[in-house]
Structure 1
Amino acid sequence: MTYLTTTDGVEIFFKDWGPKDAQPIVFHHGWPLSADDWDTQMLYFLAKGYRVVAHDRRGHGRSSQIDSGHDMDHYAADASAVVEHLDLRNAVHIGHSTGGGEVARYVAKFGQPQGRVAKAALVSAVPPLMLQTEANPGGTPLDVFDGLRTALANSRAGFFLDLASGPFYGFNRPTETVSDGVIRNWWRQGMMGSALAHYEGIKAFSETDQTEDLKTITVPTLVMQGDDDQIVPYADASLRQIKLLQNGTLKIYPGFPHGMLTTHADVINPDLLAFIES
């Protein structure tokens, strides 16, 4: 397996497939998953001739279960360490959910000043701010996130099974076909990681205000989200993202769930390809 070590001693696992002289696509996974959540997309774009890269966030998957740095700044810095280690240039960065926040912080803070980023895509992403505040009255109340923390602390295995079986993929909707394999794979990825990283990650994805990150991004950015996203409400996410981005394109998918990358890969992958090749 391939790893790099960050400046603060964290071992970050990463995948790097495809021709090393091809345009790279870098995938940033959501909470509480791993690089494996992108396998369908990585195989799809590999077959199209791209170099595909994905890493496990610190505390997630096969990366170190360290007890510090579970915040958006460290997430972005770790992503930058992967990019620097592989010397990726002209890359397209695609982030799902919390990974979308990671992409926004990375591109704003590390990618654009170095000219390493060609485009970005935010998929069912958490920016600009999930938490309900006086300045963000349409956000999600704090007690919802406190409930997530309590459920995780009381029974992480049961909590993760409930999420994967229900709202994450929309399997609680009568229109969705439930996939036991998808549920098991989500649970497998989640349970590989650190309970502490997942617990502290809830604060990172819900309370990090990324308004300025979005305003700073100048590269073409595709915003994609389903209007039946039960995890990240689209009205407070993608509809606000597109107003803050300087060069954004918005695609809303009727009836699609939070985990649409998996349940509707046949639609999402070609749309991502069309954006990358435009």
Structure 2
Amino acid sequence: MPYFETTDGTRLAYEDYGTGAPIVFVASWALGTDMWEYQVPFFVDRGYRCVLLDRRGHGRSDRPSTGYDIDTRADDLAALIEHLGLRGITLVGHSAGGGEVARYLVRHGEERVSRVAFVSAVLPFLKLTDDNPQGAPEALCEAAVAQFRTDRPSWFAQRAQGFYATHLGNDVSPALIDLTMRQCLETAPWATVEVWRATFHADHREGLRAITVPTLVVHGTADQSAIVEMTGRRTAELVPGCVYKEYPTGGHGLFATHSERLNNDILDLIKG
């Protein structure tokens, strides 16, 4: 697996498959490059180059004590793009990765980016404030942190079925759920907490309004991790001219449960 160094000396791991127009996949909080195993072969077989990043503290990347704020994580993404000299990119961000994509556009512009897909993205702003009455109170964020620090495996185990919305008939094996759990628990505990907090506090509303490239927003109606009324629908209202697609039986893990539909929706965006 190749690595590169960010501006603060952190070594980040990435994967690079195929040739052709590049698609950069940005993983969910607590997951790494392996989550995209149902997307990479689909797009490589169709002539695209797939680049995947393990954010700091995740997967095979370094585990520093700092740099988990949204700006630094967006700059890490920019460093990978510049390291590989990528242009004409399709950026695909899942969950907290969607926030990193949105902040990348704010901090580094759209010069290298041709289009964007936000998948189950934790956008636009989660925290309850006077000008964000749809948000959640700070206490909910910190209650999760307390659970991480008491019994992190239990927190993930309690949400595993809901992550894939198996109660709606999505065909997900116990083995796949176990695999997802293991991948989440391989993330550094420190990074788990710091990225969680940073994601909760990041306000992306202004940045989303400024996006000018073609954008796809995809969300599951049954998403228990990023409630659609708080996230997907509000994001679609903010991004000018975006295409919004809602999957009625979708939970948070659309990349697995609805991989065929998701892949084709991203492909339609690219072919636009």
TM-score, normalised by the number of residues in structure 1: 0.94
Please tell me whether the aligned partners of residues 13 and 62 of structure 1 are also in contact (alpha carbons under 8 angstroms).
Answer: yes
> How big is each residue's C-alpha offset from its partner over 1:21-75, in whole Å with a ceiling of 9 and x where there is no partner?
x100000001111011111111111111100000101111111111001111011
Find the counterpart in structure 2 of residue 191 from structure 1.
185
> How big is each residue's C-alpha offset from its partner over 1:189-248, in whole Å with a ceiling of 9 and x where there is no partner?
212221001111111111111111102211111011011111111112121112221231
Find the counterpart in structure 1 of residue 61 from structure 2.
63
- Structure 1 residue 160: Cα displacement: 2.2
- Structure 1 residue 183: Cα displacement: 1.2
Find the counterpart in structure 2 of residue 74 from structure 1.
72
Please tell me whether the aligned partners of residues 161 and 183 of structure 1 are also in contact (alpha carbons under 8 angstroms).
Answer: no
- Cα separation, partners in 2 of 1:178 and 1:42, compared to 1, 3 Å: closer
Please tell me whether the aligned partners of residues 27 and 96 of structure 2 are also in contact (alpha carbons under 8 angstroms).
Answer: yes
- Where do 1:161-176 residues align within 5 Å? 161-164=157-160, 166-171=161-166, 173=167, 175-176=169-170
- Where do 1:204-243 residues align within 5 Å? 204-243=198-237
SS in 2 for 1:126: coil
SS in 2 for 1:250: strand
Please tell me whether the aligned partners of residues 56 and 64 of structure 2 are also in contact (alpha carbons under 8 angstroms).
Answer: yes
Find the counterpart in structure 2 of residue 127 from structure 1.
123
One-letter amino acid matched to 1:248: C
User: 2: CA distance between counterparts of 1:23 and 1:176?
Assistant: 32
Please tell me whether the aligned partners of residues 219 and 247 of structure 1 are also in contact (alpha carbons under 8 angstroms).
Answer: no
Please tell me whether the aligned partners of residues 108 and 213 of structure 1 are also in contact (alpha carbons under 8 angstroms).
Answer: yes
Please tell me whether the aligned partners of residues 61 and 190 of structure 1 are also in contact (alpha carbons under 8 angstroms).
Answer: no
Find the counterpart in structure 1 of residue 5 from structure 2.
5
One-letter amino acid matched to 1:157: P
Q: Does 1:253 align with 2:237?
A: no
Please tell me whether the aligned partners of residues 106 and 207 of structure 2 are also in contact (alpha carbons under 8 angstroms).
Answer: yes
- Structure 1 residue 108: Cα displacement: 2.4
SS in 1 for 2:58: coil
Q: Does 1:264 align with 2:258?
A: yes
Please tell me whether the aligned partners of residues 74 and 101 of structure 2 are also in contact (alpha carbons under 8 angstroms).
Answer: yes
Find the counterpart in structure 1 of residue 269 from structure 2.
275
User: 2: CA distance between counterparts of 1:122 and 1:168?
Assistant: 17
Identical columns (%)? 39
| Structure 1 unaligned residues grouped into runs of 5+ | none
Find the counterpart in structure 2 of residue 100 from structure 1.
98
User: 1: CA distance between counterparts of 2:270 and 2:171?
Assistant: 30
Count of residues in correspondence between the two structures: 272
User: 1: CA distance between counterparts of 2:89 and 2:172?
Assistant: 35
> Which of 33, 36, 40 does residue 34 from structure 2 map onto?
36
User: 1: CA distance between counterparts of 2:234 and 2:126?
Assistant: 11
- Structure 1 residue 106: Cα displacement: 0.8
SS in 1 for 2:144: helix
User: 1: CA distance between counterparts of 2:235 and 2:182?
Assistant: 31
> Which of 88, 113, 120 does residue 90 from structure 1 map onto?
88
SS in 2 for 1:9: coil
Find the counterpart in structure 2 of residue 15 from structure 1.
15
Please tell me whether the aligned partners of residues 100 and 123 of structure 1 are also in contact (alpha carbons under 8 angstroms).
Answer: yes
